[in-house]
């Protein structure tokens, strides 16, 4: 080696692909872990289903509902479910919470189409459900793909009907139609974002008329089927939360089977990796807290979003039940606490590489991505992590041989994004975004690297064990 080469080796930062020089054993562990991750994705496509699955996993690992626990001791494991759509979990550490807790927070909601309160109509003897899209979607991606309907309907008598249709092989699916190319000259000449209008994202759900010469008989036949199947009438739709999501399953992608393609990986990948990491914790020093938030994709508002007071309530429960609480202690706990905002990063897509700064972007297969800041247009609205804190997190990862990359979401002035990071940072907590790089984020079929998914699981464990 020449002196220059030696010096370069010493001074330049170097990134390597995570798949290089992996043992067969570790590779198998990565693939096995991802098989379970894909199963989790297939069973839980909405925030309600995520909370149900997470509760099951937590209970199997000895977690108890905090409402049923009077006193908390070191090593105790509890969860709190907020209106069936968001969830917090904790493992009580040896140290007092006053010294700070270690938090990892992800979100369970993903972009989708929600049914409108009055969705049912008939046009030209075809029956439809109207939708209003949820979160940032590219509307054209949601036409002509198989869709399923998930959610709940609360009937007049208070009975809650749970709906999940389109997932089983024997279920019918639904689609949103699009124009044939032969007649789409005008549509194809329009701007991509205007070619499919939000108001036209209507789900085709029926075409057989009720067997009687009567107006709206296709709608009548549909409502009759729904009444027999679910015991509902049309006005019940106005007290419902019905979400339209891709019906297809998460699958392994690539000849080398290195990737996961699946709906809702933003941010269910961080939900699964942080949740399963928490299940492995034993004898930890600081109390570990896991957040599974709702409504991140629409600004974290509402009583299941991260802006709600509900998280403070959970933290107060922990302080009360460990017997540690006193006036204004929660504020101090926050100022001493550390957090990984576990949310996905935009991976460099070589086909659209110009939107990324290749020196400051996340890559598939290069491990977990730390985003110092998000925001847009001059870091506007960003939670910008402190240098000292980043050094601390990097130190934890280095010590535990966790492969990580430090990146930002997109080239300057191209766009940007946000997570729940700023909400916790505003409480005084040290926060950095830390998650899995994703290709085609917010599309009905997002792509991740199995290596990065597994690395996130290991990274979150290391953070809580530090
Ligand atoms: Mn996200
Ligand atoms: Mn998102």
- 262 alpha carbon – ligand 2 mean position (Å): 14
**What pLDDT, on the 0 to 100 scale, is given for residue 415?**
82
For tokens 């029926």, what's the residue? 206
In angstroms, rounded to a whole number, what is the distance separating the alpha carbons of residues 222 and 227?
9
Give residues whose Cβ lies within 5 Å of ion ligand 2. 266
Give residues whose Cβ lies within 5 Å of ion ligand 1. 266-267, 343
- 205 alpha carbon – ligand 1 mean position (Å): 30
Helix (H) / strand (E) element for 226: namely helix 217-230
Nearest residue to 101 (alpha-carbon basis) of 346, 278, 264: 278
- 364 alpha carbon – ligand 2 mean position (Å): 17
Residues whose CB is less than 8 angstroms from the CB of residue 462 and which lie 6 or more positions away in sequence, other chains included: 396, 397, 399, 400, 402
- 442 alpha carbon – ligand 2 mean position (Å): 6
Decide if 16-110+263-465 and 112-246 have a common fold. Answer: no
In angstroms, rounded to a whole number, what is the distance separating the alpha carbons of residues 86 and 310?
9
Between helix 24-43 and helix 47-60 the angle, nearest 10°, is 130
In angstroms, rounded to a whole number, what is the distance separating the alpha carbons of residues 224 and 202?
20
- 448 alpha carbon – ligand 1 mean position (Å): 14
- 345 alpha carbon – ligand 2 mean position (Å): 9
- 404 alpha carbon – ligand 2 mean position (Å): 21
Q: What are the residue boundaries of the structural domains of the chain, listed by start?
A: 16-110+263-465, 112-246
CB burial readout 200-221, b (16+ within 10 A) else e: ebbbebbeebbeeeeebbbbbb
- 232 alpha carbon – ligand 2 mean position (Å): 33
Using an 8 Å Cβ cutoff, are 165 and 171 in contact?
A: yes
Region label for 33, one of left (φ > 0), alpha (ψ between -120 and 50) or beta (otherwise): alpha
Nearest bound ligand to the CA of residue 106: 1
- 447 alpha carbon – ligand 2 mean position (Å): 14
Residues whose CB is less than 8 angstroms from the CB of residue 342 and which lie 6 or more positions away in sequence, other chains included: 104, 105, 106, 267, 270, 271, 273, 274, 434, 435, 456, 460
In sequence order, what are the beta bridge partners of 265? none
Structure tokens at 253: 């992608």
Nearest bound ligand to the CA of residue 134: 2
- 266 alpha carbon – ligand 1 mean position (Å): 5
Q: What are phi and psi of 194, to 5 degrees?
A: -105, -10
- Average confidence (pLDDT) per 10 residues, the chain, 466 residues: 95 95 97 98 98 98 98 98 98 98 98 98 98 98 98 97 97 98 97 97 98 97 98 98 98 98 98 98 98 97 97 98 96 98 97 94 97 90 94 98 94 89 96 97 98 98 97
- 297 alpha carbon – ligand 2 mean position (Å): 5
**What pLDDT, on the 0 to 100 scale, is given for residue 375?**
85
- 220 alpha carbon – ligand 1 mean position (Å): 40
- 67 alpha carbon – ligand 1 mean position (Å): 29
Nearest bound ligand to the CA of residue 341: 1
CATH architecture of the region 112-246: Roll (2.30)
- 266 alpha carbon – ligand 2 mean position (Å): 5
Nearest bound ligand to the CA of residue 435: 1
In angstroms, rounded to a whole number, what is the distance separating the alpha carbons of residues 184 and 452?
41
Using an 8 Å Cβ cutoff, are 244 and 231 in contact?
A: no
Nearest bound ligand to the CA of residue 433: 1
Helix (H) / strand (E) element for 318: namely helix 310-321
- 130 alpha carbon – ligand 2 mean position (Å): 23
- 408 alpha carbon – ligand 1 mean position (Å): 14
**What pLDDT, on the 0 to 100 scale, is given for residue 66?**
98
Sign of CA dihedral 348, 353, 355, 360: positive
- 222 alpha carbon – ligand 1 mean position (Å): 36
Nearest bound ligand to the CA of residue 344: 1
- 176 alpha carbon – ligand 1 mean position (Å): 25
169: how many CB neighbours lie within 10 A of its CB?
Answer: 4
Q: 267 preceded by cis ω (within 30°)?
A: yes
- Quote the longest CA-to-CA distance of the chain: 91
For tokens 């010469």, what's the residue? 213
Nearest residue to 292 (alpha-carbon basis) of 48, 457, 463: 48
- 156 alpha carbon – ligand 1 mean position (Å): 35
Nearest bound ligand to the CA of residue 343: 1
In sequence order, what are the beta bridge partners of 151? 163, 242
- 315 alpha carbon – ligand 2 mean position (Å): 26
Structure tokens at 35: 């098989």
- 171 alpha carbon – ligand 2 mean position (Å): 29
Nearest bound ligand to the CA of residue 270: 1
Using an 8 Å Cβ cutoff, are 296 and 107 in contact?
A: yes
| Record: fold of 16-110+263-465 | Aminopeptidase (3.40.630)
- 12 alpha carbon – ligand 2 mean position (Å): 33
- 456 alpha carbon – ligand 2 mean position (Å): 17
**What pLDDT, on the 0 to 100 scale, is given for residue 416?**
84
Structure tokens at 431: 């926060």
Concatenated DSSP letters for 178-217? Answer: ---GGG-HHHHHS-HHHHS-GGG--EEEE-PPPSSS-TTH
Nearest residue to 296 (alpha-carbon basis) of 438, 183, 136, 413: 136
**What pLDDT, on the 0 to 100 scale, is given for residue 412?**
92
């Amino acid at each position: 080696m020449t002196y220059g080469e030696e010096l370069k080796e010493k001074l330049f930062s170097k990134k390597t692909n995570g798949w290089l020089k992996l043992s067969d054993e570790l590779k198998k562990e990565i693939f096995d872990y991802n098989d379970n991750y894909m199963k989790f994705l297939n069973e839980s496509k909405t925030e309600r289903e995520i909370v149900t699955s997470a509760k099951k996993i937590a209970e199997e690992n000895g977690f108890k509902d905090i409402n049923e626990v009077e006193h908390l001791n070191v090593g105790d494991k509890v969860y709190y479910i907020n209106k069936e759509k968001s969830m917090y979990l904790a493992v009580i550490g040896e140290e007092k919470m006053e010294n700070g807790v270690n938090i990892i927070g992800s979100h369970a909601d993903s972009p989708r189409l929600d049914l409108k309160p009055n969705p049912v109509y008939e046009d030209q003897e075809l029956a439809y459900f109207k939708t209003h899209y949820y979160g940032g979607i590219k509307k054209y991606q949601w036409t002509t793909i198989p869709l399923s309907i998930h959610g709940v309907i609360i009937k007049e008598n208070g009975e809650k009907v749970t709906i999940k249709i389109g997932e089983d092989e024997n279920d019918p699916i639904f689609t949103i139609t699009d124009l044939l190319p032969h007649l789409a000259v005008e549509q194809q000449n329009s701007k991509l974002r205007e070619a499919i209008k939000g108001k036209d994202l209507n789900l085709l759900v029926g075409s057989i008329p009720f067997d009687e010469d009567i107006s709206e008989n296709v709608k009548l036949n549909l409502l009759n089927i729904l009444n027999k199947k679910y015991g509902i009438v049309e006005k019940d739709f106005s007290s419902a939360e019905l979400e339209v999501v891709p019906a297809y399953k998460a699958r392994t992608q690539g000849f080398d089977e290195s990737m996961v393609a699946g709906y809702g990986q933003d941010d269910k990948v961080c939900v699964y990796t942080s949740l399963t990491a928490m299940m492995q914790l034993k004898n930890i020093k600081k109390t570990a807290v896991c957040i599974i938030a709702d409504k991140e994709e629409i600004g974290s508002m509402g009583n299941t979003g991260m802006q709600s007071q509900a998280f403070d309530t959970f933290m107060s429960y922990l302080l009360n039940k460990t017997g540690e609480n006193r006036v204004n202690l929660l504020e101090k706990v926050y100022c001493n606490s550390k957090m990984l905002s576990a949310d996905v990063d935009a991976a460099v897509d070589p086909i659209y590489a110009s939107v990324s700064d290749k020196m400051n972007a996340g890559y598939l297969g290069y491990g977990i991505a730390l985003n110092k800041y998000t925001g847009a247009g001059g870091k506007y609205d960003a939670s910008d992590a402190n240098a000292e804190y980043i050094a601390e997190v990097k130190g934890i990862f280095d010590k535990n041989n966790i492969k990580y990359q430090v990146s930002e979401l997109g080239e300057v002035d191209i766009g940007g994004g946000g997570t729940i990071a700023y909400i916790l940072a505003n409480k005084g907590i040290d926060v950095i975004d830390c998650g899995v790089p994703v290709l085609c984020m917010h599309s009905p079929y997002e792509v991740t690297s199995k290596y990065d998914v597994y690395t996130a699981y290991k990274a979150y464990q290391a953070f809580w064990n530090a």
